[in-house]
Structure 1
Amino acid sequence: MRTYVITGGTDGIGKGLGLHFLSRGDRVIAVASNPAKGRAFMAEAERLGAAGRARFLRADLSTVAGMRSAVAEVEADLDVLDGLVFATQRFQARREETADGLEYTFALSYLSRFVIGHELTGLLDRAAAPVVLNLAGPGGLPGRIHWDDPQLRRGYSGKTAAMQASRCNDLLGVGFPRSHPGTKIRYVLYNPLFVKTGMADPLPQPMRAVTKTLALLLAQRVERAVVPMAALMDDPPAEPVSAFRRGKPLPLTGKDFDPEAADRLHRLTLEILNG
């Protein structure tokens, strides 16, 4: 039996992966903020006969305190962690700040992955073949990091924030083994492309209606989309970090995977956390 922690584990792809692992006999801790969705996840686990192997851990991963509280609870509950999945994200059409004064998308979709991933390294390294699966956007839509304004106080748009978070996560993956030389952990960046989830719900109209219509025609079902992700966690690449677009390997080349930029982002992130 393997043990997995999944942020965003009560909805969409995160939930799909959690139920996939539970159905085959593994243990899952689903980290999310919505108690109603947490109860629904636990009810589905019970229907699978897996209630004793499932846990809903409520945490606000948009705040540093919430991130570290989740880490502390996982560390108190587990001796070893086989896999860590980052699936938490939420589109924000309007700019919002968290309790820490950080732009919401930056905090939730990138910073939580930085904090939780680095702080759970000890538990992961106790596993035989530990894997981090970061559901980000390698090989997807373009975007850039706004080095002079990472909190996007100027010129905010939901798309700009989402694409910046994706580029940050690309560099987070590249930088992870540089921060943990000698680690056994394999870091996998994965772009699932179009999947039928509730991600369109926060979009403004008419974008929401258009996206949902396209999803009906083109998107993969969650149950199908999670299969190659689970396979990568079962048998990860030999390289310390790798990237995939719907199961297709991507070269770690170009500015999106620049090691020097990864080091720069790591320093900037530590400044934000220590500021």
Structure 2
Amino acid sequence: MVEIKEAVTVCRPIDDVFRYLSNFTNIEQWDPGVLTSVNLSDGPVQVGTSFELTLRYLFIPIHMIYTITEYEPPCRVVLKGEGDSFAVTDTIELSPNDHGTMVSYTASFAFSSLSPRLQKIIRPALSLIGKTSMAGMKKALSPIARVPQSVSLFSTGVHPVDVAADRLLIPGALGFSKWGYRLSNVFWRANAESLTRQTVVLTGATAGIGKAAALGLAQRGARLTFIARNRDKALATQKELIQKTGNKTIDFYIADLSLMADVTRVAKEILNDKPIVDVLINNAGALFSEHAETPEGLERSFAINLLGPFILTRLLLKGLESAKSPRIVNVSSGGMYTQKVHVDDMEMRCQPYDGATAYAWAKRSLVILTELWADQLKHIAVHAMHPGWVDTQGLAASLPRFHKRIRPLLRTPEQGSDTIVWLASAMEPGQCSGLFWLDRRPHLTHVFPGTRETDDERRQLWRALEEHERRYLFS
């Protein structure tokens, strides 16, 4: 038996530290010896939850199964790891102090084939591994109080490497794929931020990217409120999220966000129940292959992808402005790069209808709104993002040939939603505003000639949306 003990102090509340460390999928963010960690169990983290870890040992990967044997929030968690040639028991004990939380970590190794003498020889190596791991843990859990380097150094907010990639067609497109995600996350700092006691309003949470985002937000302890059109799907989503995360502060409201009467009603209901809104995520959207109007006479893509988020955001500003550090996250699309705003024909009535183009027009306009809100709302961090190419039922239904052609390159919904959760929770995006993100990095909003709008077009867009808003608010 070889036992290694280490301790560090991190400047975070004990509840947040316990939530982060007891979920062993996070170990790959702070232990350089861990290549991957996957949760093998359904439901919230608890006694019996198992994780499969792939460890790096020289050039040979080692697989281990860790299972939680003791779980006492927020002070103690014990995991037992089983491998082919050794077993280890990890005991993590937490206690609050004047600087945050003291983390005491004990690893007890039991080797099946090593003599006591050899165990003594390898003890210094294990001790070094332990110190390195604890240093990584301290770094991952250490809050940073600075704007992202790329934002503070470059006036556009975009790093020159990303500028070059965005402007070169093939590198930029590959960045939308699962390979772009895998390349990007190698350089990420661990996101250990909590959303405990924060009210997050999310649209479009019952499927695809939105459902994956809802899970990530709930796992971080958010008081999650989502808006859904179908009550049965909403109930099923709420039940699933609670079962998987153990977070019971999840509720929903029913509204069709393509109908402005529903948007105004649900916004008033939310504010009546939740006077403080910490985060609003405008994720709901749809791409329609054929032109059709809503019962209110609006083209569907314009209604749900642009006017709905505009009015919902405007109505929830009172709740956002009451929050300590509020944020708005607008989910756009990489398809908007191919289009410019059309303020004289936002509902595509003056030319043959094309669903993908109408969708891109709306998403381009949503990015412009993000920049306008960032200028107007100094107390609120406002960002837009696009998730890359994601394998969802919505993509398969709306663009079947495109989906079939690039399916091997598509991301999972969890990969696509990662930046949504990061923008809602991490410290860095709360210290800047008005940027367009992919994989936790700001990117250009224009890469093709002729897509940049004029200042006058931005003003016309705003006035047109305000006119629609007045029509539905005061009719």
Q: Normalising by the residue count of structure 1, what TM-score does the alignment of the two structures yield? A: 0.89
- Given candidates 418, 431, 439, the residue that maps to 1:238 is 431
Structure 1 residues 126 and 107: alpha-carbon distance in aligned structure 2, compared to 1, 3 A threshold = same
Higher relative contact order (CA 8 A, sep 6+): 1
Q: Does 1:202 align with 2:397?
A: yes
Equivalent-residue separation in structure 2 for 1:81 and 1:122 (angstroms): 8
Contact 1:136–1:190 (8 Å) recurs in 2 = yes
Q: Does 1:191 align with 2:386?
A: yes
Structure 1 runs, 4 residues or longer, greater than 6 Å off? none
Equivalent-residue separation in structure 2 for 1:165 and 1:252 (angstroms): 14
- The structural deviation recorded for 1:158 is 0.3
- The structural deviation recorded for 1:26 is 1.4
Equivalent-residue separation in structure 1 for 2:404 and 2:454 (angstroms): 35
Equivalent-residue separation in structure 1 for 2:454 and 2:326 (angstroms): 24
Contact 2:259–2:303 (8 Å) recurs in 1 = yes
Identity %: 25
Contact 2:332–2:367 (8 Å) recurs in 1 = yes
- Give aligned pairs, total: 269
Equivalent-residue separation in structure 1 for 2:218 and 2:465 (angstroms): 34
**2:468 equivalent in structure 1:** 272
- The structural deviation recorded for 1:178 is 3.9
Equivalent-residue separation in structure 1 for 2:452 and 2:262 (angstroms): 29
Q: Normalising by the residue count of structure 2, what TM-score does the alignment of the two structures yield? A: 0.53
Contact 1:140–1:193 (8 Å) recurs in 2 = no
Structure 1 residues 166 and 95: alpha-carbon distance in aligned structure 2, compared to 1, 3 A threshold = same
Structure 1 residues 224 and 253: alpha-carbon distance in aligned structure 2, compared to 1, 3 A threshold = closer
For structure 1, which segment, 117-126 or 141-150, has the greater mean C-alpha deviation from structure 2 after superposition? 141-150
Equivalent-residue separation in structure 2 for 1:172 and 1:80 (angstroms): 23
Q: Residues 220-241 of structure 1, C-alpha deviation per residue, up to 9 Å, x if partnerless?
A: 1122332333222222153331
Q: Residues 97-129 of structure 1, C-alpha deviation per residue, up to 9 Å, x if partnerless?
A: 112211100000001110011111111122221
Q: Who wins on radius of gyration, i.e. which is larger? A: 2
Aligned AA for 1:96? Answer: A
Equivalent-residue separation in structure 2 for 1:261 and 1:177 (angstroms): 17
Equivalent-residue separation in structure 1 for 2:419 and 2:395 (angstroms): 23
Q: Residues 158-215 of structure 1, C-alpha deviation per residue, up to 9 Å, x if partnerless?
A: 01210110111011111113444xx311111101111122222432xxx415404523
**1:21 equivalent in structure 2:** 217
Contact 2:388–2:416 (8 Å) recurs in 1 = no
Structure 1 residues 261 and 137: alpha-carbon distance in aligned structure 2, compared to 1, 3 A threshold = farther
- The structural deviation recorded for 1:252 is 5.7
Q: Does 1:159 align with 2:356?
A: yes
Segments of 5+ residues of structure 1 without an aligned counterpart are none
State the secondary structure of the residue aligned to 1:132.
Answer: strand
Segments of 5+ residues of structure 2 without an aligned counterpart are 1-195
- The structural deviation recorded for 1:88 is 0.7
Aligned AA for 2:208? Answer: G
Contact 1:171–1:262 (8 Å) recurs in 2 = yes
Aligned AA for 2:414? Answer: E
**1:175 equivalent in structure 2:** 372
**2:155 equivalent in structure 1:** none
Equivalent-residue separation in structure 2 for 1:8 and 1:259 (angstroms): 31
State the secondary structure of the residue aligned to 1:48.
Answer: helix
State the secondary structure of the residue aligned to 1:6.
Answer: strand
Aligned AA for 1:167? Answer: R
Aligned AA for 2:373? Answer: F
State the secondary structure of the residue aligned to 1:189.
Answer: strand
Greater share of residues in strand: 2
Structure 1 residues 25 and 245: alpha-carbon distance in aligned structure 2, compared to 1, 3 A threshold = closer
- The structural deviation recorded for 1:136 is 0.5
**2:442 equivalent in structure 1:** 249
Structure 1 residues 177 and 247: alpha-carbon distance in aligned structure 2, compared to 1, 3 A threshold = closer
Structure 1 residues 49 and 200: alpha-carbon distance in aligned structure 2, compared to 1, 3 A threshold = closer
Equivalent-residue separation in structure 2 for 1:139 and 1:243 (angstroms): 13
State the secondary structure of the residue aligned to 2:395.
Answer: coil
Contact 1:29–1:54 (8 Å) recurs in 2 = yes
What is the root-mean-square deviation in Å for CA atoms of aligned residues? 2.2
Equivalent-residue separation in structure 1 for 2:445 and 2:413 (angstroms): 26
**1:225 equivalent in structure 2:** 416
Structure 1 residues 32 and 244: alpha-carbon distance in aligned structure 2, compared to 1, 3 A threshold = same
Aligned AA for 1:97? Answer: E
State the secondary structure of the residue aligned to 1:200.
Answer: helix
Equivalent-residue separation in structure 1 for 2:318 and 2:349 (angstroms): 36
Q: Residues 26-57 of structure 1, C-alpha deviation per residue, up to 9 Å, x if partnerless?
A: 11111121223212211212313546311121
